[in-house]
Structure 1
Amino acid sequence: MITDLAALELSGRTTTAGRGKRPRPPFGVSTIAVIAVLIALVSLVPLGYVAFMTAVTGWDTAASLIFRPRVGELLLNTALLIAFTVPLCLVLGVGAAWLVERTELRGHKVWAVLLAAPLAIPAFVNSYAWVSAVPSLEGLFSGVLIATLSYFPLVYIPAAATLSRLDPAVEQSAASLGLGAWRAFFRVVLPQLRIAMTGGALLVSLHLLAEYGAFAMIRFDTFTTAIMVQFRSTFNGPAGNMLASVLVFFCLILLLVEVRSRGTARYARVGSGAQAKALRLPLHAYQLPAQAALLTASTLAFGLPLLFVFRWIVAGGSDVWAADEFLPALLQTLGFGLGGALVTTAVAFPMAYLAVRHASWFSKALELSNYITSSMPGIVVGLAFVTVSIRLAPGIYQTAFVLIAAYVLLFLPRALVSIRAGLAQAPKELDEAAQSLGTPPLLSFIRVTLRLTAPAAAGGAALVFLAIVNELTATLLLAPNGTRTLATEFWSKSSEIDYAGAAPYALLMIVISAPMTYLLFQQSKKVAGQ
């Protein structure tokens, strides 16, 4: 699906190299284009799977499976979940970003990091903690509570990044025309956050469609939980495939709505000169309520899950730290995470190179194919790879190769956006100069372009690694026999109500995710400042 790094693209801008002679690419434009086309074709396998299975099922059978009360119930649950959760995330994320970036909030630098921290806790771990605290949690509003606390940082991070680079001169102009602070916020500042808000809302919505563990734990039925139940009962039956087709259709509708909601207004500042320093608004009597509100949000979203993870670890004693159980899961998670991150980053390079150095409708279409695939839930991608591997290449079914391929398709945009930004900031003139001195194109690419792009590529790889560490549904469907990752072992033990046994796996996922979440936050600031 569209990954959390896409929020960085929504909050920042990249620079493009000046017009002129392009340096010769390392392998030739045609070769790079062929590689990019092959990647795009593979990335469309899940969408092709959904279309193929719908056609094979036949219209009469498909219609009877789609237009039935159960699908209507799931559709209503999903629509209500999005309708309640997305506005709450927008209010909480934008409000927190405004307090941190635009007011005299005490300790605003600390709050800036704390409000991004909940992204380090997977939603299914958050659900596990809340069920431990309130065992009776179930249903729609419990799902809204957990989803809001898990995903509001997806709005907060791009909104805070946008506010940090927003020229305060526009607010000062509004004030000079007699607008008060609140009227200036709604009439001047909020429209500037439109792209960050629509992008954040899309990310939240896609996460809601894809999430399985968090909602299964509180017994709230969504398309993803229903597809998983159907898959386990009938393996690859028509009913599960039709649910997947409805879910994919829902995802595509959300993508179209987000594109239309961006509008055509431009928000870039044109002109020379330094940006004025933002004037923070005094909070006066609102200082204490603001601190209390942020403390409550951080405690519920980050403090409570950590508390109950440690509580279960203490309750389990030393037995839960048996190395023969959690050490293989840790090593396999790191192995899949590092392997998937490296492959995904390498695969992203040809498409990013075309998008920056040879931009055209063709390169944009290739790039869009990856965003469409990444917007699909992991369970749909997993089902597609199960079906394709069994029918076309049974020998690779349930191998590490198939699982890594699924990770690449799910998280390619995280690397693609980051590498594209890095390539855009690597002047092509340096590559031209190196080649004019007799350096072969491949060598000049390695010594110049690749070297300058390496930090951005490393950031993208780190975010892919974070996503793989916390991925659950595709791993459950595709992992080779005997595979034990932190996420699957946590899910296995928590499903057996062994909450103490699941706690070490939850803690390790948080410990691994925390630095990557901080990197995401810092990179969003850097991109916004460019």
Structure 2
Amino acid sequence: MRSVVPTAIRTRFDSVPLGLALVCGVIATSVVFPLTWLVIRATSVDPSRTLSMLTRPGTLEIVVNSLLLMAAVTALSVLLGVPLAYLTVRTDLPFRRFWSIAVSLPLVIPSYIGAFAFVSAFGPRGEFHSILSPLGIERLPEIYGFPGAIAVITLYTYPYVYLTTRAALLSFDTTLVDAARTLNHGQWSAFRRVTLPHIRPAIAAGGLLAALYAVSDFGTPTIMRLPVFTRQIYVEYNAFGQDYAALLSLQLLAVVIVVLVLERWVRSGATIHSDIGEAAGESTVTLGRWRWPATLLPAAVSGIALVVPIWILGLWLVTAKTGGRASLAFQWSFAFNSVWVAGLAALVATLAALPVAYFAASTDSLLATVFERATYVGFAVPGVVLALALVYFGTGYVPALYQTIPLLVFAYTVRFMPQAVGAIRTTTQQVDPRYVEAARTLGERPARAFRRVTLPLIVPGVIAGGALVFLTTMKELPATLILRPTGFETLVTHIWRAQEAAYFQYAAVPALVLVAVSGLSMVVMLSQERGD
């Protein structure tokens, strides 16, 4: 049976063509380069003023709040995402295909829409309070601050862990579990000894995305009135405090580096390779009497995450004031623009992620690790910071690119390429190196061996990564607002304009269209997965 690959075999395949290393270096440099603006800006501040700003009473509060929020969201996302992935892939859960899609859909809802919906529903004067007040319930638990921010971000972030773990489980050789069971290991023991080591890199990749999203989210902490890095950076930029904002951004990057090191440590160790495509997904765990009760978990999680926003959006349509405002009327061109730029970003990010992910999965060299880790930096930087950095470079050095689609797509790629890198890398790690060795002994060149052997086996990871980039691009707000060409309206920019003007009925339609289009992309992605 397939097992842990000997070190000698892995070392022999750690030799990667120089051309691949150069390509990865160019990609990593391109991703990190815009962020040098932060260093330039921060180092230009007088040292005494730097010390004064970083020792403000509010700075420590911002750091602590950001770290606690990130840790809580990551832990809860893992606690939700891993069981949901296991239930929808490895068990005989009723309506498994339906739940596979349902628990993925919260990812299509922008967290700022989710936060606004939860405040509207569960706030002090929210809709839920109006329903319960006739029953004598005068006060609901506080939703602002940590409770609301953690709950909302987790509900719309756990799909990162779910999707990466699901992709790993779909390509898992279940005969390894069967072999463990024949050696008198129970279900839990077999999961802990065989399945968990196999999916641990995928869990770590998904947890990393959840952590970076939590620490870089701007909308939800702002709505929940929680002082964190992103909120304060945005406030300082608006108040022309760019020096303090740059220093806070560097602190945020330091947090990101620590997270990347921790994620590298969690997923380190031996990798289990298997004959994916042959035995994957053949064995199903029987839940027995727990088969129907087990549906309560996906039903509760997806129900809360999806029903509340749709309920509030529906109320906006029905009860919001009806004063006409032609400039906010919905047009289908907004949806077309969103799909177009999101599709371009998904294509570019996936193509850029392929060599980086393959390099990282094929060798344990420090160079590969540096290149891969570099791609994650952009994901942790708030969209407003990245956008302003690109405005600085665009207006100062390449004015022809300022407010153009290429620059906008580049911003999306920098922000969201790590999602594709994580999904592709974890799937590539599961390809048995002996397959590649066999192709090479038959005279295949490295590039041709990758195309004919490795690429067909990592399709689930490529699809999952591209879909994640598409979905997050569809709902990205700050970068779109700042970098879009003049007059280029998307669903998120239209929603933002309608909310700013307090014409909520105009925000409801594009928000529902955004959810529908993103949901369809999720259905397409899941329908192409093998072993479901």
Secondary structure of the structure 1 residue equivalent to 2:283 = coil
Indicate the percent of aligned positions where both proteins have the same amino acid. Answer: 27
- Given that residues 467 and 522 in structure 2 are in contact (C-alpha distance below 8 angstroms), is that contact kept between their aligned partners in structure 1? no
Runs of at least 5 residues in structure 2 that lack an aligned partner in the other structure: 1-8, 125-142
Q: Distance in 2 between matches of 1:448 and 1:101?
A: 27
* Deviating more after overlay: 37-46 vs 119-128: 37-46
Q: How does 1:176-255 map to 2 (within 5 A)?
A: 176-177=183-184, 179-186=185-192, 188-234=194-240, 237-255=242-260
Q: CA RMSD in A?
A: 4.5
Q: From the superposition, tell whether residues 63 and 393 of structure 1 become closer, same or farther in structure 2 (CA, over 3 Å).
A: farther
Partner of 1:308: 312
- Cα distance, 1:142 vs. partner? 0.4
Q: From the superposition, tell whether residues 487 and 264 of structure 1 become closer, same or farther in structure 2 (CA, over 3 Å).
A: same
Q: How does 1:102-501 map to 2 (within 5 A)?
A: 102-136=90-124, 137-164=143-170, 165-167=172-174, 169-170=176-177, 173-174=180-181, 176-177=183-184, 179-186=185-192, 188-234=194-240, 237-269=242-274, 274=279, 277-284=282-289, 286-316=290-320, 324-344=329-349, 365-393=370-398, 396-414=401-419, 463-501=468-506
Deviations along 1:252-276, one digit per CA (max 9) or x if unpaired, are: 1111110011131322247998468
Q: Distance in 2 between matches of 1:271 and 1:329?
A: 41
Secondary structure of the structure 1 residue equivalent to 2:386 = helix
Per the normalisation by structure 1, the TM-score is 0.77
1:512 is matched with which residue: 514, 517, 529? 517
Secondary structure of the structure 1 residue equivalent to 2:44 = helix
Partner of 2:132: none
Q: From the superposition, tell whether residues 487 and 291 of structure 1 become closer, same or farther in structure 2 (CA, over 3 Å).
A: same
1:83 is matched with which residue: 71, 77, 88? 71
Secondary structure of the structure 2 residue equivalent to 1:57 = coil
Q: Distance in 2 between matches of 1:139 and 1:467?
A: 24
- Cα distance, 1:473 vs. partner? 2.0
Partner of 1:503: 508
Q: From the superposition, tell whether residues 427 and 519 of structure 1 become closer, same or farther in structure 2 (CA, over 3 Å).
A: farther
Q: Distance in 1 between matches of 2:21 and 2:297?
A: 51
Q: From the superposition, tell whether residues 484 and 60 of structure 1 become closer, same or farther in structure 2 (CA, over 3 Å).
A: same
Q: Distance in 2 between matches of 1:168 and 1:430?
A: 25
- Given that residues 330 and 509 in structure 2 are in contact (C-alpha distance below 8 angstroms), is that contact kept between their aligned partners in structure 1? no
Partner of 1:92: 80
Q: From the superposition, tell whether residues 521 and 71 of structure 1 become closer, same or farther in structure 2 (CA, over 3 Å).
A: farther
Per the normalisation by structure 2, the TM-score is 0.77
Q: From the superposition, tell whether residues 294 and 320 of structure 1 become closer, same or farther in structure 2 (CA, over 3 Å).
A: farther
Secondary structure of the structure 2 residue equivalent to 1:193 = helix
- Cα distance, 1:83 vs. partner? 2.8
Deviations along 1:172-221, one digit per CA (max 9) or x if unpaired, are: 635743x5444554455444432222222111111101211222222222
Partner of 1:5: none
Runs of at least 5 residues in structure 1 that lack an aligned partner in the other structure: 1-15, 437-441
Q: How many residues align?
A: 497
Q: From the superposition, tell whether residues 95 and 496 of structure 1 become closer, same or farther in structure 2 (CA, over 3 Å).
A: same
Letter of the structure 1 residue corresponding to residue 101 of structure 2: V
- Cα distance, 1:349 vs. partner? 7.0
Letter of the structure 2 residue corresponding to residue 170 of structure 1: V
Deviations along 1:295-348, one digit per CA (max 9) or x if unpaired, are: 211210122222322332233579699885444533432343344445545656
- Given that residues 459 and 519 in structure 1 are in contact (C-alpha distance below 8 angstroms), is that contact kept between their aligned partners in structure 2? no
Q: From the superposition, tell whether residues 72 and 359 of structure 1 become closer, same or farther in structure 2 (CA, over 3 Å).
A: closer
